[in-house]
């Protein structure tokens, strides 16, 4: 599958906002047009990344570091893969598509996410899934404090039990057949998530300080 690759230059040390670099934003643009895009007042794409490949539905960030923020912001379609670590607001306000981060992410991953699948193979910072409205957010690593703060709907799929919070209610252990459908959709992805098979989960419902229709599913280690 052809991809559009943004390789982070080692010279870059300042925080960079990547909200412009989603498949839907880049659709139909030529490579020179993409390189000329402004990321902020100081930086064009070409200042920050070596860009190769062609504009497709699959955008890849290589040699990514935590200074890249807002990757996948308001992403609607396609796929983004992050080889490395990402900064804050990864997948924030996502409206569709699949975002895979092979490393760790910063704070507020999936913030206000509405739709789509956000898969984080590493750890997350604080406020992961804050104000999330819907969609699916998976984390194979550890999650930080205040997970799912203000989360309204949607599913958090975790391998490691989160830090306990009073705003999430324990609904016990269950075997949920829908997970098989979800895992089937992961099979096509180049991700550790493709190996998930565990359908036994502990279900938490929250954030009860708000709407309280969201769920955290913690995979059984058995």
> Which of 175, 209 has the CB closer to another protein?
175
Q: Does 175 bind another protein (CB under 8 A)?
A: yes
Across the strands, what pairs with 117?
98, 136
> Which of 164, 172 has the CB closer to another protein?
172
Nearest distance from C-beta of residue 78 to another protein, angstroms: 9
Of 90, 143, 155, 191, the one binding another protein by CB under 8 A: 155
| Residues ≥6 apart with Cβ < 8 Å to 83 | 60, 61, 62, 63, 64, 102, 103
For 80-145, the DSSP string reads: EEEEE---TTTTTT-EEEEEEESS---TTTTTT--EEEEEESS---TTTTTT--SSEEEESS---S
Q: Does 178 bind another protein (CB under 8 A)?
A: yes
Of 96, 103, 141, 210, the one binding another protein by CB under 8 A: 96
Q: Which residues bind another protein (CB under 8 A)?
A: 96, 98, 115, 117, 134-136, 153, 155, 174-178, 180-182, 184-185, 188, 213, 215
């Amino acid at each position: 599958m052809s991809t559009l690759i943004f390789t982070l230059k080692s010279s870059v040390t300042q925080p960079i906002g990547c909200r412009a670099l989603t498949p839907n934003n880049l659709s139909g643009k030529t490579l020179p047009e993409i390189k000329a895009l402004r990321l902020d007042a100081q930086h064009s794409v070409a200042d920050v990344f070596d860009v190769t490949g062609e504009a497709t539905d699959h955008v890849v960030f290589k040699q990514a570091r935590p200074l890249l923020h807002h990757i996948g912001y308001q992403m609607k379609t396609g796929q983004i893969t992050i080889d490395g670590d990402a900064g804050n607001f990864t997948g924030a306000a996502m409206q569709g598509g699949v975002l895979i981060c092979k490393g760790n992410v910063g704070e507020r991953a999936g913030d206000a996410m509405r739709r789509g699948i956000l898969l984080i193979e590493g750890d997350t910072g604080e406020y992961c899934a804050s104000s999330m409205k819907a969609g699916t957010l998976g984390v194979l690593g550890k999650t930080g404090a205040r997970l799912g703060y203000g989360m309204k709907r949607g599913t958090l799929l975790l391998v490691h039990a989160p830090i306990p919070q009073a705003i999430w209610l324990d609904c016990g252990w269950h075997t949920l057949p829908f997970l098989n459908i979800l895992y089937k959709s992961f099979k096509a992805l180049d991700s550790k998530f493709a190996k998930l098979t565990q359908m036994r989960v502990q279900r938490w419902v929250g954030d009860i300080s708000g709407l309280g229709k969201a769920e955290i599913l913690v995979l059984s280690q058995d």
